[in-house]
A and B are shown apart, each in its own frame.
Chain A
Amino acid sequence: MSAYFIRLISTLGHLVTSRIDRLGLVARFAGLLLVSLRIALGRLSLIFREVYFSGVRSLSIVAVSGLFVGMVLAVQGYEVLQRYGSAESLGVIVALSLVRELGPVVTALLFAGRASSAVTAEIGLMRATEQLAAMDMMAVDPISRVVAPRFLAAVFSMPFLAAIFSTAGVIGAWIIGVKLIGIDDGAFWSQMQANVDVRIDVLNGLVKSIVFGTSVGLISVFEGYFAAPTAEGIATATTRTVVISSLSVLLLDLLLTVMMFRGLS
């Protein structure tokens, strides 16, 4: 009985300390990354290349998803709004949901699955095949040459992708609401224009997507950089990137939303 209890305690303790160890590793890695950003920012061509691979290639999935989400919001929103006779507010509801929440959050989730997982696999494979070691031996720091551009690409791409998601969503809602259901076109847009605030809504949405980009980007390069140099290790790391990124995005969204929108009304 007591032996079992001690085992339980030590297993729990190990679980906790290993998590803390890993957090420490993340912090140290983030420090190194931060220091290398200055060098990395001096080589924009490397960052553009990664923005192309991560960001530009996620455009279509983000735009199409945004369109669908906007359409769904319009259908659901209209159903509720017309009960209160305020169907013209559809544009506002959809735009606010997208700009404040769904744009940054869903984009970050899509990005984690589409782009960050690939970054993790790529860096993990470069480590496993000693490409990072070879680079290090040629006096080229893998963190500023390989890791930092991929991280920055996530940070830069995310706000643009979120904006595209929201735009596509508004267009989707307009197609459903105005073209199909027949809400007044002028009311749809003017209400939206009058009630979406640049600072409260757009700027806060932007801040969110930059925070998500930082978090998803950091997780993807960290998991890749410390992946065990085996096929299994890379597979595990890729999965971890998607799972941990998604959870962190949702948690951060909760925190940011509380901070930004609490006590507004």
Chain B
Amino acid sequence: MTSFHESEMIALKDVCFSYADRPILNGIDLTIKRGEIIAIMGGSGGGKTTLLGLIAGRLKPQSGSVLVNGFEVPKLRQTELYGLRRKIGMLFQFGALFTDLNVFDNVAFPYREQTNLPEEMIRTLVLLKLEAVGLRGAKDLMPAELSGGMARRVALARAVALDPSVMLYDEPFTGLDPISVGIIGRLIKRLNRALGMTSVIVTHDLNETLRLVDRVVVLSQGKIHRDMAPEEIRSTDDPFIRQFADGLPDGPVPFHYPGRDYWSELMGQ
């Protein structure tokens, strides 16, 4: 039915998704090549996290096809899906660290669950990953003792533990100081180069993103509004993208969640 090219890691064809009867995505077509880093941008509540959920098989589309590494994700049975997910890493928007495990055990979790490596080897691997995110010294802290940015870095170390071939990042930069943003940005790039990882980054941080990615996909009203190279973004006069790049409060992207007219609501009419 759908053709599959070796070079394509992720391919979405005419994907529609709605929560109950509220459509979120309608007709998404998107292909991502192996080793590519792409950014997904769009307004808050625009369906970016939803899109990652579809790629990871956490959500099923009402129609359309989602291919990852040649597998039709919505049709996989749980064991097959888990087989695929061993090759997919995901960084959650809020880290999602296991609160009853310390930093070390959080990063060790995927090794302990998915491999039969001896404990000394796991120790080495965990320290390696923690060193890469600059938190080797924090290995004995509990998640509650970490700042938001530190938690995100630990979560990143955990997500890349098994060297996945696809990484999905849900807003990796939000709430981080500029130094951490730089560190994580470089880390994403390095992982991508060293392991030939395909990366999808959902982000609002235009500056960092443009330095990092091969392509930027802009979502609007459940569709792909634009799909362009970073250089084009800087120079485009598309009002939608300018609004993002220049941080204007209102424009084509509405700041407000759709609702009743403000005046009549205030007056209780």
Do A and B interact with each other, yes or no? yes
CA distance A175 to B90 in the complex (A): 61
Known A-B contacts A139-B85, A141-B82; A133 and B98 likewise in contact (beta carbons under 8 Å)? no
Q: Which residues of B contact A136 (CB under 8 A)?
A: 58, 85
CB of A140 closer than 8 Å to a CB of B: yes
Query: What is the 8 Å Cβ interface bit string for chain A, positions 139-160, against chain B (1 contact, 0 not)?
Result: 1110001000000000000000
CA distance A131 to B97 in the complex (A): 6
Check B114 against A133 for contact (C-beta < 8 Å): no
CA distance A131 to B90 in the complex (A): 12
Known A-B contacts A130-B92, A130-B94; A137 and B109 likewise in contact (beta carbons under 8 Å)? no
Check A133 against B92 for contact (C-beta < 8 Å): yes
Known A-B contacts A139-B86, A141-B82; A133 and B113 likewise in contact (beta carbons under 8 Å)? no
Check A134 against B90 for contact (C-beta < 8 Å): yes
Check B94 against A138 for contact (C-beta < 8 Å): no
- Nearest Cβ in chain A — how far from B97, in angstroms? 8
CB of A230 closer than 8 Å to a CB of B: no
Check A137 against B58 for contact (C-beta < 8 Å): yes
Q: Which residues of A contact B28 (CB under 8 A)?
A: none
Known A-B contacts A137-B85, A139-B85, A141-B78; A130 and B96 likewise in contact (beta carbons under 8 Å)? yes
- Chain A interface main SS type: helix
Q: Which residues of A contact B88 (CB under 8 A)?
A: 137
CA distance A130 to B58 in the complex (A): 12
Interface residues of A, CB < 8 Å — how many?
Answer: 15
Number of CB contacts from chain A to chain B under 8 A: 49
Check B94 against A139 for contact (C-beta < 8 Å): no
CB of B239 closer than 8 Å to a CB of A: no
Check A140 against B113 for contact (C-beta < 8 Å): yes
CB of B99 closer than 8 Å to a CB of A: yes
Check A134 against B96 for contact (C-beta < 8 Å): yes
Q: Which residue of A lies closest to B170 (CB)?
A: A130
- Nearest Cβ in chain A — how far from B112, in angstroms? 10
Q: Which residues of A contact B241 (CB under 8 A)?
A: none
Q: Which residues of B contact A126 (CB under 8 A)?
A: 98-99
- Nearest Cβ in chain B — how far from A51, in angstroms? 16
Known A-B contacts A130-B92, A130-B94, A131-B98; A137 and B56 likewise in contact (beta carbons under 8 Å)? yes
Q: Which residues of B contact A17 (CB under 8 A)?
A: none
Query: What is the 8 Å Cβ interface bit string for chain B, positions 45-60, against chain A (1 contact, 0 not)?
Result: 0000000000010100
Check A133 against B82 for contact (C-beta < 8 Å): no
Q: Which residues of B contact A138 (CB under 8 A)?
A: 85, 109-110, 113-114
Q: Which residues of A contact B58 (CB under 8 A)?
A: 133, 136-137
Q: Which residues of A contact B155 (CB under 8 A)?
A: 134
Query: What is the 8 Å Cβ interface bit string for chain A, positions 88-131, against chain B (1 contact, 0 not)?
Result: 00000000000000000000000000000000000001100111
CB of B83 closer than 8 Å to a CB of A: yes
Which residues in window 89-108 of B have CB below 8 A to A? 89-90, 92, 94, 96-99
Q: Which chain B residues have a beta carbon within 8 Å of chain A's beta carbons?
A: 56, 58, 78, 82-83, 85-86, 88-90, 92, 94, 96-99, 109-110, 113-114, 155
Pick 12 A–B contacts, CB within 8 A, sort by A.
A126-B99, A129-B99, A131-B99, A134-B90, A134-B155, A136-B58, A137-B58, A137-B88, A137-B89, A137-B90, A138-B85, A140-B113
- Having A133-B96, A137-B88, A140-B114, one finds 12 other A-B pairs with CB under 8 Å, namely A131-B96, A131-B99, A133-B92, A134-B90, A137-B56, A137-B58, A137-B89, A137-B92, A138-B109, A139-B82, A139-B86, A139-B114
